A and B are shown apart, each in its own frame.
Chain A
Amino acid sequence: MNNNLYSLPSFSLRAIAVWRRNFLVWRKLAIPSVLGNLADPMIYLFGLGYGLGGLLPQVGGVSYIVFLASGTVCSSTMNAASFEALYSAFSRMHVQKTWDAILNAPLALDDVLAGEWLWAAAKATLSGVAILIVITALGFVSSPLALLTIPVIFLIGLTFAALGLIVTALARSFDFFMYYFTLFVTPMILLCGVFYPIEQLPAALQAVAGALPLAHAIHIIRPLLLGTWPADIGLHIGALLVSAFAAYWVALMLTRRRLLA
């Protein structure tokens, strides 16, 4: 039992039981869930990629739809992680009281949150990889380097799942999540290089947008899918790793304060 609300996260294999609980629920609705997660990004990709892309010369050295495809992998991963860590986790914590039930068993809150975190990241990975498979089948991916994106997609999932868990720890109701999407997720989708190279932005805005986690994700994923080694890959991976673990620690402290005080 973790007495100190601010102590470092503890990790144990007990988190697997929580992960498996979520997996068992997901398995019952797996096919609609995967299709649902694919539909929205695919509509954006085809609509903007072909519709808008037809008006554009090459973007970033490739056709617009190829450029957009790599951004879509990142934004979909972010969205899937965010939804799971916000709505689904909040429902389990606050509405269904699933976490309370688990805490009556020999698991600590650290185990529950770690299980939720890894689950949201895993589900986000599935979303990102599903897009990856579709765009590969469509010929938008040109290099075996693309395989390296899979662990990166998982890391992107960890980052946004952890950020989402912070918001969940603070939320009083589902309405609260609108702020997070309006003030954080949507701006990132529009500013961090999903739809156009981030260099198009004015310098000041570029500096801000470039520091956001989605920009780091895109800086790694896009070159790998286009077959080139990402510049400053260590910096971007490091930024995601630090954000992921720092955000998870903050989320854990806030959740301990909320549930164990």
Chain B
Amino acid sequence: MAPLEVAGLRKSYAGHEVVAGISFTLARGECYGLLGPNGAGKTTTLRCCLGLTAPDAGTIHLVGEPVPARAREARGSVGVVPQFDNLDPDFTVAENLLVFGRYFGLSDAATAGRIPALLEFAGLTGKENARLTMLSGGMKRRLTLARALVNDPDLLMLDEPTTGLDPQARHLIWERLKQLLQQGKTILLTTHFMDEAERLCNRLAILDEGRIVATGSPRQLIAEHIEPQVVEIYGEAAPVWAKDNARNFVKRIEISGETAFCYVEEQNLAPLLALTAGHPALRILHRPANLEDVFLKLTGRELRD
């Protein structure tokens, strides 16, 4: 039984199709990423998978249960970290976990027994009685993660779990998610951070305008969709220079403001760098292609607000 199986999912709001035929299946123990710009349909997909909104078409099986018909029962084996913290501000750290456990039908004694381990996992040991207002953004996020684990779920669904966190806090969350994967939990993650997806996801799907435009492991996606090397050329003259001079070596040039992004095959890298070396006015950054390049190629560079 797959932890989550989605086939032909569609959902419209006011005539606009937000999710336009999405299918994917999670394998047990993997981290699967849904990547996409704002408005790509990531959160709506999660809401449908949890049975919080009825899809217009398609079938969903969450931990083996048909959704939305038996979504409530299925949610008993799922942990959710929502995009925006909705911890209970009236409660202490421990009370947040205790009360959330009750929603899963757990006795206070059972939850209380799990609290020390949950807090240790979240790096919140000793904060049992802290009020929510005393916690930093990163601590709240970690408490939300601990809360999602209160029912010892098989599947975790995380909606942009590190948005708004500083680098230290993000790395700590990533490290904890890797631990959970090692314990055998399955993770479904939405994000628009490419480094997050590259680090955590075994497989991912890039969403745009409600459709999956590419799937695969991060390495596969880079190998299949983009040239392996990127030379970024900066400066007022860079776009014109790149178009006039770099053409012979470069398969694809993308211009963004005063930057030219040159996507280069391995054999053409050295000649291109040699050519740029003759123009000290240009500032050059050479790097291997990454997931962000794939993402921008597939979803475009325009803003999605």
Contacts and interface: CB of A to CB of B under 8 A. Distances in A.
Given A17-B102, A17-B103, A24 B95 contact: yes
Contacts of A24: 91, 95, 99
A105 B75 contact: yes
Contact of B72 (A1, A21, A259): A1
Contact of B86 (A100, A108, A261): A100
B103 A1 contact: no
Nearest to A102: B103
The secondary-structure label for the interface of chain A is helix
Interface string A105-140: 111100000000000000000000000000000000
Interface string B45-69: 0000011111000000000000111
A98 interface: yes
A260 B54 contact: yes
Contacts of B87: 101
A58 interface: no
Interface of A: 1, 3, 14, 17, 20-21, 24-25, 28, 96-98, 100-108, 259-261
28 contacts: A1-B51, A1-B69, A1-B71, A14-B105, A21-B88, A24-B91, A24-B99, A25-B88, A25-B90, A98-B86, A100-B82, A101-B87, A101-B100, A102-B103, A103-B50, A104-B50, A105-B76, A105-B100, A105-B151, A106-B73, A106-B103, A106-B105, A107-B72, A107-B103, A108-B72, A260-B52, A260-B53, A261-B13
Given A3-B69, A100-B86, A106-B75, 12 more contacts: A1-B72, A3-B68, A25-B90, A97-B84, A101-B86, A101-B88, A101-B100, A102-B103, A105-B100, A105-B104, A106-B76, A107-B103
Size range of the chain B interface in the assembly: 20 to 34
Contacts of A98: 86, 88
B102 A21 contact: yes
The secondary-structure label for the interface of chain B is loop
Contacts, number: 73
A125 to B, nearest CB: 21
Contacts of A14: 103, 105
Contacts of A104: 50, 75, 78, 80, 82
B89 interface: yes
Contacts of B88: 21, 25, 96, 98, 101
B142 to A, nearest CB: 16
Contact of A96 (B52, B82, B89): B89
Contact of A1 (B68, B100, B102, B104): B68
Contacts of B103: 14, 17, 102, 105-107
A12 B78 CA distance: 21
B53 A261 contact: yes
Most chain-B CB neighbours within 10 Å: which of A1, A96, A102, A103? A1
A3 B55 CA distance: 10
A93 to B, nearest CB: 11
B70 interface: yes
Contacts of B100: 101, 105
